[in-house]
Structure 1
Amino acid sequence: MEPEITASRAIVRYTKGKPQHVRDLIVSEYALTIKVNGSELVTMVCTPDHIEDLVVGYLLSEGLIRRYSDIKRMRIDWKQGFAYVESDRVNPLFSDLKQKRYVTSCCGGSREGFVFAQDALLTKQLNKQTVHLSPDDCMAFMNQLQESADTFKQTGGVHNTALCNTQGMLINRMDIGRHNALDKLYGYCVRHQLPLTGTFLVFSGRISSEILLKAAKIGCEVLLSKSAPTERAIELAEQLGITTVGFIRNQSFNVYTCPERIG
């Protein structure tokens, strides 16, 4: 049985200095261990929804498998918190899975040593220009992401991302971890063979180098964010030909790289 993604808790809320006993919705954390061919690969802390998409997106973006068809079988044990994956096409670089990795709900240094060794092989050069957005488009798509973020409205504790084209939002995903939300989205696209030409990402969180690389692996040439990019992310976006737009709020935003797709 799948766990609930939120839980109700009794809290004390202060408004203008006055306490009030109320109940509040809190987002759940779920520890998921991925086992590949019987060996533990990683334990990640995530929001317990769209777990199959998360596992597929993670394995693909980390380079452990090259395509969805490399997975022969997958089974989720919700009670014990395990995802069992069987594959006879595991990337040889990951043949020794004895050094288990732990991934928290935050992202950054805990994952960098694992992913960057494969980045040169997995990222795509995105010098094409199939996406052109007006300033109004940038604001409208960010507003649409925020309007669709029901769990965030209830708890304030998750990140949201959406795959869009100029006609509208195609799919959205959320998680307590920014990287998990993107892996869920990527996994869905691959499992359902969703065409990615002419698509772009809208994202609620900071654009770190890892987030930028995940966008490149998905194949999106534009990344719109409510927050800021890091310097390393900007450098990578310039190298890969990705348009990064940040601080989309209050009728204002910054275009950091490849501005020819905006305006």
Structure 2
Amino acid sequence: MTGFIIAPDPGCARLTRRVTGVDQTGTEVEQNVVEERPLTIYLNAQEIVTAMTIGDYPEYLALGFLRNQGMLEGAGAVTRIDYDAELDVVVVRTDHATDHEEKLKKKTRTSGCAVGTVFGDMMEGLEGLSLPKAEMRTSWLYALAAQINTTPSLYLSAGAIHGTVLCHRDQPLVYMEDVGRHNAVDKISGWMLQEGARADDKMLYTTGRLTSEMVIKCAHMGIPVLASRSGFTAWGVEIAQQVGLTLIGRLRGKRFQCLAGAERIIWDADLDAIKDEPKRSGRKGSA
């Protein structure tokens, strides 16, 4: 397969706004800045959450959020997803009644840069979880990083946004962006659920930090490998080790670090053929 199934659309006028300001010399400049919009998610008749998002793929975001929160368990099949663009509301309907009043009482504000929210016990459902014994070749890893980092995106054109990419071997498949990395992951989760996509042979690549929330979402989705240009949190590493997830961070040029699940890696790349990036100055270990 070649090309993306879903790729970023940095030219979409609805996703950014042109703003005029000045630079460090006082010269007038124009800059595209990313839009933020509230999106309220309902599960049947119950309001669940209002998320701040750039506003693309609202159906995938709602479906993926509910899936990753465990709120679709026992709900039966998803029968319909209704999106009202004027009200910025998505309603996910299932063939069984749902009631998450108790779960909604326990809310955790995560480290997501757009203030992610997790309802209930963050570790719920991870007990006894064992992720598939997939392989990850370093040649795939470098090929993915090179293609993803040069793909036109809001991340490159406007900044202030995170990208997450679903990959198979050395091929990026679905590239989602949002102001919060958790939203981008939820969009991919919703796409996978709606399309019936396999998870056991996939990898997630993200531009954001490898936090506990990112690791938990990836594990719940059944994806065995998570990689990023950015760094790790200690709890993210601990959870990855617990569930057997391969966690690769600081992927820049030919350099990377794997702090969990290294047994999946096959070291087949010729490092002499990989173009390196200059090391960043400043504090050692900065993200």
Alignment match of 2:31 (pick from 21, 24, 38): 24
- The Cα of 1:257 is off from its aligned counterpart by 0.8
Deviation string, structure 1 residues 152-192 (Cα, Å, up to 9, x no partner): 11111111111111141111111111100000011111111
Q: Per the alignment, do residues 207 and 186 of structure 1 end up closer, same or farther by CA in structure 2, a change over 3 Å counting?
A: same
Contact preservation (8 Å) 1:44, 1:102: no
Q: Per the alignment, do residues 225 and 90 of structure 1 end up closer, same or farther by CA in structure 2, a change over 3 Å counting?
A: farther
Q: Per the alignment, do residues 157 and 109 of structure 1 end up closer, same or farther by CA in structure 2, a change over 3 Å counting?
A: closer
Greater mean deviation of Cα atoms: 170-179 or 34-43? 34-43
Aligned to 1:63: 70
Q: Per the alignment, do residues 78 and 109 of structure 1 end up closer, same or farther by CA in structure 2, a change over 3 Å counting?
A: closer
Contact preservation (8 Å) 1:160, 1:173: yes
Code of the residue aligned with 1:125 in structure 2: it is S
Q: Per the alignment, do residues 120 and 102 of structure 1 end up closer, same or farther by CA in structure 2, a change over 3 Å counting?
A: closer
Q: Per the alignment, do residues 98 and 161 of structure 1 end up closer, same or farther by CA in structure 2, a change over 3 Å counting?
A: closer
- The Cα of 1:19 is off from its aligned counterpart by 2.7
- The Cα of 1:91 is off from its aligned counterpart by 5.4
Quote the sequence identity (%). Answer: 27
Alignment match of 2:248 (pick from 245, 250, 256): 245
Contact preservation (8 Å) 1:45, 1:103: no
Deviation string, structure 1 residues 176-222 (Cα, Å, up to 9, x no partner): 11100000011111111122231111111001111001111111111
Aligned to 1:8: 18
Q: Per the alignment, do residues 230 and 103 of structure 1 end up closer, same or farther by CA in structure 2, a change over 3 Å counting?
A: closer
Aligned to 1:125: 130
CA-based RMSD: 2.9
Q: Which structure is higher in helix share?
A: 1
Alpha-carbon distance in structure 2 between the residues aligned to 1:21 and 1:120:
52
Alpha-carbon distance in structure 2 between the residues aligned to 1:161 and 1:29:
18
Give the TM-score, by structure 2 length.
0.79
Deviation string, structure 1 residues 51-78 (Cα, Å, up to 9, x no partner): 1110110010001103896322221111
Alpha-carbon distance in structure 2 between the residues aligned to 1:241 and 1:98:
29
Q: Per the alignment, do residues 98 and 207 of structure 1 end up closer, same or farther by CA in structure 2, a change over 3 Å counting?
A: closer
Give the TM-score, by structure 1 length.
0.86
Find the residue that maps to 1:119 and give its secondary structure.
coil
What aligned pairs does 1:212-251 form with structure 2 within 5 A after superposition? 212-251=215-254
Alpha-carbon distance in structure 1 between the residues aligned to 2:18 and 2:115:
32
Code of the residue aligned with 2:161 in structure 1: it is V
How many residues in Structure 1 have an aligned counterpart in Structure 2? 255
Greater mean deviation of Cα atoms: 111-120 or 4-13? 111-120
Contact preservation (8 Å) 2:210, 2:228: yes
Alpha-carbon distance in structure 1 between the residues aligned to 2:16 and 2:114:
25
- The Cα of 1:95 is off from its aligned counterpart by 4.9
Q: Per the alignment, do residues 165 and 117 of structure 1 end up closer, same or farther by CA in structure 2, a change over 3 Å counting?
A: closer
Aligned to 1:200: 203
Deviation string, structure 1 residues 79-125 (Cα, Å, up to 9, x no partner): 22211222243555x1558869797993598624535163337x841
Alignment match of 1:74 (pick from 66, 81, 99): 81
Contact preservation (8 Å) 1:41, 1:98: yes
Deviation string, structure 1 residues 2-34 (Cα, Å, up to 9, x no partner): 9811111112123xxx23212210001010111
- The Cα of 1:236 is off from its aligned counterpart by 0.8
